[in-house]
């Protein structure tokens, strides 16, 4: 895949910048002043971290699954660090958040925003503990590694669909077969994390042994009981 890269010193959000670029463009910034995460949360723009947005083609009803393709690509790129994936697409290290992915639909294009705490882990406005790579790589190096793996996983997705992505995602899965909590805006659901469905929903086995499939939410891992 031929990526066209555009570098900026400071932008409000690379996802906003990417709106003006064609498919297979990648917008990278050293700093973000108004970065956003899922559910409109703040994604703090500390310098030295990676802020990148990739413009992807629309895959119609399969487009939401691109978040998993990107998640697998980021996890694959950083697998030497022992990263894991927390549903739907947080990349974690030592059970702390290292990277987040935000997918936005723009007409016939999808913007996949990727933030990686390369140098520093934010401590403000966070829902989940954070961690960084402590600068052992530069943001540019991490960007290149991600794009290389994204080319491979996108091609697989285009040719073979979601199945290979789902299997790869599960090899990186945090909390599989364990008790987890999924927080939704109005309720929290506890259950055993059984699978990811073909639509990307998380399948939970509830205490009464029924199943519930959830399309969007925040997963919290339960600490082990002594
Ligand atoms: C999340 O975990 O909530 C998703 C975070 C996504 C952050 C990235 S940083 C690059 C791109 N630009 C943004 O404003 N957000 C995404």
Q: Can you tell me whether residue 60 is helix, strand or coil?
A: helix
Residue 117 Cβ inside 6 Å of ligand 1? The answer reads no
**In this structure, are strands 4-11 and 25-32 parallel, antiparallel, or unpaired?**
parallel
Q: How far is the CA of 208 from the centre of ligand 1 (A)?
A: 37
pLDDT tens by residue, the chain, 226 residues? 899 999 999 999 999 999 999 999 999 999 999 999 998 899 988 889 999 999 999 999 999 999 999 999 999 999 999 999 999 999 999 999 999 999 999 988 999 999 999 999 988 878 889 999 998 999 999 999 999 999 999 999 999 999 999 999 999 999 999 999 999 989 999 999 999 999 999 999 999 999 999 999 999 988 764 4
Instruction: State the closest ligand 1 atom to the C-alpha of 43, by its place in the atom list counted from 1.
Output: 7
Q: How far is the CA of 36 from the centre of ligand 1 (A)?
A: 5
Residue 35 Cβ inside 6 Å of ligand 1? The answer reads yes
Residue 99 Cβ inside 6 Å of ligand 1? The answer reads no
- Residue owning the nearest CA to atom 11 of ligand 1: 113
Give the model's pLDDT for residue 224.
60
User: Nearest-CA neighbor of 48 among 102, 10, 96?
Assistant: 10
Give the model's pLDDT for residue 103.
96
Residues in CB range of 30: below 8 A, 6 or more apart:
7, 8, 9, 10, 47, 48, 51, 139
Instruction: State the closest ligand 1 atom to the C-alpha of 39, by its place in the atom list counted from 1.
Output: 3
Q: Can you tell me whether residue 22 is helix, strand or coil?
A: coil
**In this structure, are strands 84-86 and 50-57 parallel, antiparallel, or unpaired?**
unpaired
- Residue owning the nearest CA to atom 15 of ligand 1: 36
- Report pTM: 0.95
H helix runs in the chain, sequence order: 14-18, 66-77, 139-160, 163-171
Burial of 8 (0-12, 13-18, 19+ CB in 10 A): middle
d(CA 129, CA 109): 32
């Amino acid at each position: 895949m031929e990526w066209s890269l555009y570098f900026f010193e400071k932008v409000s959000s690379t996802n906003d910048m990417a709106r003006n670029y064609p498919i297979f463009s990648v917008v990278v910034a050293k700093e973000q002043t108004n970065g956003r995460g899922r559910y409109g949360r703040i994604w703090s723009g500390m310098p030295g971290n990676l802020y990148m947005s990739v413009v992807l083609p629309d895959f119609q009803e399969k487009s939401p699954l691109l978040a998993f393709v990107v998640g697998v690509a980021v996890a694959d790129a950083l697998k030497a660090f022992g990263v894991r994936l927390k549903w739907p697409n947080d990349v974690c290290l030592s059970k702390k958040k290292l990277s987040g992915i935000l997918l936005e639909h723009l007409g016939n294009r999808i913007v996949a925003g990727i933030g990686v705490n390369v140098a520093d882990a934010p401590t403000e406005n966070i829902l989940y503990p954070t961690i960084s790579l402590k600068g052992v790589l530069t943001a540019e190096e991490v960007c290149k590694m991600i794009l290389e793996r994204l080319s491979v996983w996108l091609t697989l997705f285009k040719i073979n669909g979601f199945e290979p992505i789902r299997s790869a995602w599960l090899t990186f899965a945090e909390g599989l077969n364990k008790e987890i909590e999924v927080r939704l805006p109005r309720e929290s659901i506890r259950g055993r994390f059984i699978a990811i469905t073909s639509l990307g929903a998380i399948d939970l086995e509830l205490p009464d042994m029924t199943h519930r499939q959830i399309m969007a939410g925040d997963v919290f891992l339960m600490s082990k009981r002594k």
